């Protein structure tokens, strides 16, 4: 049967099938190749050794601390029967010490008049009861604890007073949020008494967190005297002070502009307002307004007021158009020719039934700025307020306490203030009064606690007249009665106090001290506010006023603390210590209390330069030179001269550290003090001296080892220190060798006491273990005497320090070369002792060289040595021939020579100046001549070294 001829469709179908078959074949080949590769990799892997096991997981410090069980009962001396851990474990080292210090009474100040010790007292700036410690707090308490521990160890009767602040705004905000979240209530739903009960319950439940953190840090506060700013005694003192100040006319009530937070419904102080500088317009959400809306800030809007009975108009501009509802006048300059014809006219307010006065005010108006016309809203702007008082203008408030437009705002009444802004601008456009808008740089005040935009509001508040106190505070610093440390802050002090404004001390809060003021009604008629110590006294005073009789007398209440032994013993305190950021906000006010010194520490700031703050979310929860006769045999198996150099040097450095640290702490130079104690411990004792005594420590000779670990010839009490100081002043010889032990123990014993105020926990741990090692009774380092300069002055030795500086330079040079060292001492200053000491240093180095030679004076070093010039009298030669490129060493030395030539040229130019001989001090001329001579010696040595290399190449 004949097959039908293929059609075009059949051809396309066959072509498609062929392509599909080819694709499938290609995929199968690819898959087969992949399987073959996998089999090959598996075979190769089987032949390879097994992969190394994973490293054990890193220990979690937090988990270790949580799992740690302290074997010592709380308040008892720490059990130390086991060996010291190989690494520092904070949870073990710090355990028990604070509880023992506190239980032992070491933190307590003594108010007994029979205690004749000098006193040192300081108050902890009370942290907010709502908070937890951040780095800013930690810095404050670290500085204050350092001072307290230092003074205590120096023989002072010390009182460091702890306490917490009720933090009126912060606490009320926290509890209100909690109420809203958990019960859907506001404080107004509860009422004042029930709300205050709720806040006290919250304080008892959560308020101890920060004090526990202070204890955890080891702060040596006298916890037996802990206070709370709203406890019974503090409340009585605040009330008594208010009554006293009011009676003396220092506290008064007045209606003035205040920083109003609509979320808190309270005025707040300047310190509680933060400012955002707007360089360009910015849309922001505002608390209390709909969450889905934003409002523009950083713009200025212009609109027109029509002249009453005329088609003329005056254009004004504002960044807060909603406040125009409170405008009562437009001010122009009396000399401005643009408005001469309008003097005495009135303007028409477009939204309320009120005429606007045209007033003349050269103080408020700069006629070269804008239109030369300024809208005046006395109740909502400080400059307008002053203008209004000058002209007797009405003061019309247009906002409610919660930030709504008031009933006197016509069609905008009841709107939230920034919603009203939007509607008001739209209405101005509809009425043909809008005249334009533009970008405007501005500072926007924001409540630190709530983020609300601050509104200047006219409110009756209580004020403190600061003028007299400010004058006295300025004079106290100028006359030296009050010392500001650092002194650079005195300029800020004067600038603030000489321009101080009266201080608003009232808040519209429920949580806080209530002002003892009453608003009485007598026979149905209101009587002006009465300040009195009780309700009954207020009634009597009001009745006396209403009846025209003599005003009832309210006897002044004494401060509740004034009769207490603590008040008599410790008032006034010695020092006010706090952060420099609150100098002009709080310190300037706190000097109403008689401090003698104010120390302002630096601030902990984040990477953007901002201080630590909960609201910003940037918190982040250290001898007279001994001679051969004093150590006739030296330390066993050590070179005698090396021991003398090292021992004399470390004791001299210890004496220097004691003297320097005493001066720095006395001057409150904490940064320098930390550096001093750090450099002694880390750079001198550990890095240099301990490395030198390691060979001895490794000896099997127990007696030799014990000699390096214990010491008898050192002051152990203040009596010993006074005895040694008397011996030193009298020039008495040192104690016989039989009474002297080794130096290491003396350095550790003194060094730990120097370090204790900076690092309380670790120094107590090591001090106790040092006592156990030496077989001595255990006692707290807290009550050990702080090393005094007079007691260790005999250990100071300038000669030993010069020698060690030379040795250190030599050692550094030799280590830098990293190969065979060949010290060479040239004539001038070293002598035989120096040569032997240098040799001993090289022999005792951590990696002693196979060969070492001292090159005699006048003898040339071997050819092919690299040379380091230590100074004009000392060179280090390292045999490098065959090991390095000698031409590169020549280039290095030439570069070094060029640097020395540059220094020498500057010195010679200075010394060649015409006025040098007459104006430069003789001592400086001698120093310059010595430096020039040293440079010339270095150049000569470098020249010889270059010649040696060139000859060896």
Q: Which helix (H) or strand (E) holds 730?
A: helix 718-730
pLDDT class for 492, splitting at 50, 70, 90?
confident
Place of tokens 């090692």: 773
Whether 832 shows a pLDDT value over 60: the answer reads no
Residue 27 reports pLDDT greater than 90: no
Give the tens place of pLDDT for each residue, 437-460.
Answer: 999 999 999 998 899 999 999 998
CA angle 626, 630, 631 (to 5 degrees): 100
What letters, b where the CB count within 10 A reaches 16 and e where it falls short, cover 41-52?
A: eeeeeeeeeeee
| Element at 157 (helix H, strand E) | strand 157-161
Question: Are the C-beta atoms of 351 and 412 separated by less than 8 Å?
Answer: yes
pLDDT at 2: 38
Task: Name the more confident of 633 and 766.
Answer: 766
Which tops the pLDDT comparison, 189 or 728? 189
User: How do residues 356-402 score in pLDDT, each as one tens digit?
Assistant: 999 999 999 998 988 999 999 999 999 999 999 999 999 999 999 99
Dist. CA 645–CA 806, nearest whole Å? 11
What CA–CA distance (Å, rounded) separates 640 from 913? 49
Question: Residue 379: helix, strand or coil by DSSP?
Answer: coil
Region of poorest pLDDT, from 400-404, 447-451, 727-731, 887-891: 727-731
* pLDDT interval class at 336 (50, 70, 90): very high
* Per-residue confidence (pLDDT) for residue 19, from 0 to 100: 61
Residues 824 and 866: their CA atoms lie apart, in Å, by 12
Bridge partners (DSSP) listed for residue 611: 605
Confidence of residue 732 (pLDDT cuts 50, 70, 90): very low
Q: Copy the structure tokens of residue 638.
A: 């050590």
836 CB neighbour count, 10 Å cutoff? 17
9 pLDDT higher than 90: no
Contacts of residue 738, defined as CB under 8 A and 6 or more positions apart, other chains included, come to none
Question: Would you call 566 helix, strand, or coil by DSSP?
Answer: helix
Q: What is the pLDDT of residues 474-491, one digit of tens each?
A: 888 888 888 887 787 788
Q: 786 and 153 in contact (C-beta within 8 Å)? A: yes
Confidence of residue 13 (pLDDT cuts 50, 70, 90): low
Whole-angstrom Cα distance, residue 136 to residue 621? 10
pLDDT at 54: 55
Q: Which of 129-133, 239-243, 769-773 has the lowest mean pLDDT?
A: 129-133
Q: Average pLDDT, stretch 319-330?
A: 97
**What is the mean pLDDT of the segment spanning 908-926?**
89
pTM passes above 0.75: no
The neighbouring-strand residues paired with 157 are 119
258-316 tens-digit pLDDT: 999 999 999 888 878 999 999 999 999 999 999 999 999 999 999 999 999 998 999 99
Q: Round to whole Å and give the CA distance between 810 and 29.
A: 73
Which stretches of 326-440 are DSSP H helices? 382-391, 417-430
Map tokens 């019960």 to a residue.
Answer: 183
User: What whole-number percentage of the chain has pLDDT above 90?
Assistant: 41
- Residues 523, 543: Cα–Cα separation, whole Å: 10
Q: Which of 246-250, 418-422, 595-599, 895-899 has the lowest mean pLDDT?
A: 595-599
Q: What is the DSSP string of 601-654?
A: E---B-TTSPBP-TTTT----------TTTSSS-STTS-HHHHHHHHHHHHHHH
Q: Name the residue among 246, 257, 243 with its Cα closest to residue 464.
A: 246
Share of the chain above pLDDT 70, in %: 71
Whole-number Å distance between alpha carbons of 652 and 626: 10
Mean pLDDT of 624-628: 30
Q: Are 426 and 330 in contact (CB under 8 A)?
A: no
Of the two residues 145 and 811, the one the predictor is more confident about is: 145
The DSSP symbol for 776 reads: -
For 860-925, give the secondary structure using H, E and C. Answer: CCCCCEEEEEEECCEEEEEECCCCCCHHHHHHHHHHHHHHHHHHHHHHHHHHCCCCHHHHCCHHHH
The model's pLDDT over 234-250, given as tens digits with 9 standing for 90+, comes to 899 899 989 999 999 99
Q: What is the DSSP letter of 367?
A: T
Mean pLDDT of the chain: 79
């Amino acid at each position: 049967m004949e097959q039908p001829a293929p059609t075009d469709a059949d051809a396309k179908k066959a072509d498609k099938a062929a392509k599909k078959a080819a694709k499938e074949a290609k995929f199968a080949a690819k898959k087969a190749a992949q399987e073959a590769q996998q089999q090959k990799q598996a075979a190769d892997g089987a032949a390879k050794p097994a992969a190394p096991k994973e490293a054990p997981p890193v220990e979690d410090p937090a988990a270790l601390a949580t799992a740690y069980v302290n074997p010592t009962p709380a308040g008892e001396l720490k059990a130390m029967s086991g060996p010291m851990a190989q690494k520092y474990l904070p949870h073990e080292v710090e355990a028990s010490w604070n509880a023992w210090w506190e239980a032992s009474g070491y933190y307590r100040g003594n108010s007994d008049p029979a205690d004749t010790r000098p006193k040192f007292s300081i108050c902890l700036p009370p942290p907010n009861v709502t908070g937890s410690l951040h780095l800013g707090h930690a810095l404050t308490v670290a500085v204050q604890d350092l001072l307290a521990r230092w003074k205590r160890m120096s023989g002072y009767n010390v009182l460091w007073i702890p306490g917490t602040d009720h933090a009126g705004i912060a606490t009320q905000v926290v509890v209100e949020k909690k109420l809203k979240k958990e019960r859907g209530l506001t404080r107004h739903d509860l009422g004042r008494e029930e709300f205050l009960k709720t806040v006290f319950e919250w304080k008892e439940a959560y308020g101890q967190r920060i004090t526990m953190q202070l204890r955890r840090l080891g702060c040596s506060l006298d916890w037996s005297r802990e206070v709370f700013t709203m406890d019974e005694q503090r409340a009585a003192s605040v009330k008594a002070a208010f009554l006293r100040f009011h009676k003396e006319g220092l506290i008064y009530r007045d209606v003035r502009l205040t920083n109003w937070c609509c979320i808190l419904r309270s005025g707040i102080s300047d310190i509680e307002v933060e400012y955002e500088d707007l360089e360009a317009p910015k849309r922001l959400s505002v608390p209390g307004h709909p969450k889905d809306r934003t409002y523009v800030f950083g713009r200025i809007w212009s609109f027109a007021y029509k002249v009453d009975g005329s088609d003329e108009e005056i254009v004004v501009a504002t960044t807060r158009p909603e406040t125009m509802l409170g405008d009562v006048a437009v001010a122009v300059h009396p000399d401005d020719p643009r408005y001469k014809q309008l003097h005495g006219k009135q303007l028409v307010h477009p939204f309320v039934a009120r005429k606007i006065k045209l007033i003349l005010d050269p103080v408020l108006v700069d006629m070269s700025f804008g239109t030369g016309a300024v809208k005046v809203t006395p109740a909502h702007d400080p400059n307008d307020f002053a203008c209004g008082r000058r002209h007797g203008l009405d003061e019309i408030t247009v906002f409610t306490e919660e930030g709504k437009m008031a009933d006197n705002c016509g069609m905008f009444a009841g709107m939230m203030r920034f919603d009203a802004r939007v509607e008001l601008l739209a209405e101005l456009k509809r009425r043909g009064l809008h005249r334009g808008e533009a970008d405007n740089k501005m500072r926007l005040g924001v409540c630190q606690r709530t983020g609300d935009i601050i509104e200047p509001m006219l409110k009756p508040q209580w004020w403190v007249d600061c003028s007299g106190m400010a004058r006295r505070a300025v004079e106290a610093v100028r006359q030296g009665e009050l010392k500001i440390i650092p002194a650079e802050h005195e300029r800020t002090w004067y600038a603030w106090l000489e321009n101080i404004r009266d201080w608003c001390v009232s808040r519209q809060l429920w949580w806080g001290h209530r002002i003892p003021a009453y608003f009485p009604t007598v026979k149905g008629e209101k009587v002006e506010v009465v300040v009195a110590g009780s309700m009954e006294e207020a009634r009597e005073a009001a009745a006396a006023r209403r009846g025209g009789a003599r005003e009832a007398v309210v006897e002044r209440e004494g401060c509740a603390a004034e009769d207490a032994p603590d008040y008599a013993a410790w008032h006034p305190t010695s020092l006010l210590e706090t952060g420099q950021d609150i100098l002009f906000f709080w310190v300037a006010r706190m000097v109403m209390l008689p401090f003698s010194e104010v120390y302002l520490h630096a601030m902990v700031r984040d990477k953007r330069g901002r201080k630590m703050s909960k609201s910003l979310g940037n918190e982040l929860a250290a001898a007279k030179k001994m001679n051969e006769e004093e150590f006739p045999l030296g330390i066993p198996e050590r070179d005698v001269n090396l021991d003398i150099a090292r021992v004399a040097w470390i004791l001299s450095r210890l004496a220097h550290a004691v003297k320097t640290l005493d001066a720095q702490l006395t001057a409150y130079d904490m940064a320098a003090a930390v550096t001093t104690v750090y450099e002694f411990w880390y750079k001198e004792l550990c890095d240099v001296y301990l490395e030198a005594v390691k060979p001895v420590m490794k000896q099997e000779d127990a007696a030799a080892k014990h000699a390096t670990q214990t010491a008898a010839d050192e002051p152990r009490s203040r009596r010993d220190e006074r005895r040694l100081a008397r011996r030193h002043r009298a020039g008495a010889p040192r104690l016989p060798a039989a009474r002297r032990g080794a130096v290491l123990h003396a350095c550790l014993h003194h060094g730990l006491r120097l370090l204790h105020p900076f690092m309380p926990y670790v120094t107590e741990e090591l001090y106790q273990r040092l006592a156990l090692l030496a077989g001595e009774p255990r006692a707290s380092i807290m009550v050990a005497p702080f090393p005094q300069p007079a007691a260790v002055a005999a250990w100071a030795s300038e000669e030993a320090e010069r020698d060690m500086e030379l040795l250190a330079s030599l050692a550094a040079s030799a280590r830098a070369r990293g190969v065979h060292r060949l010290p060479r001492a040239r004539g001038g200053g070293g002598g035989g002792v120096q040569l032997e000491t240098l040799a001993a240093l090289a022999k005792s180095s951590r990696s002693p060289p196979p060969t070492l030679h001292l090159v005699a004076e006048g003898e040339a070093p071997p050819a092919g040595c690299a040379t380091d010039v230590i100074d004009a009298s000392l060179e280090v030669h390292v045999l490098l021939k065959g090991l390095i490129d000698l031409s590169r060493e020549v280039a290095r030395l030439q570069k070094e020579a060029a640097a020395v030539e540059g220094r020498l040229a500057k010195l010679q130019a200075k010394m060649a100046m015409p006025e040098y001989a007459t104006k430069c001090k003789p001592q400086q001329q001698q120093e310059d001549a010595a430096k020039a001579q040293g440079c010339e010696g270095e150049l000569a040595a470098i020249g010889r070294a270059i010649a040696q290399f060139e000859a060896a190449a």
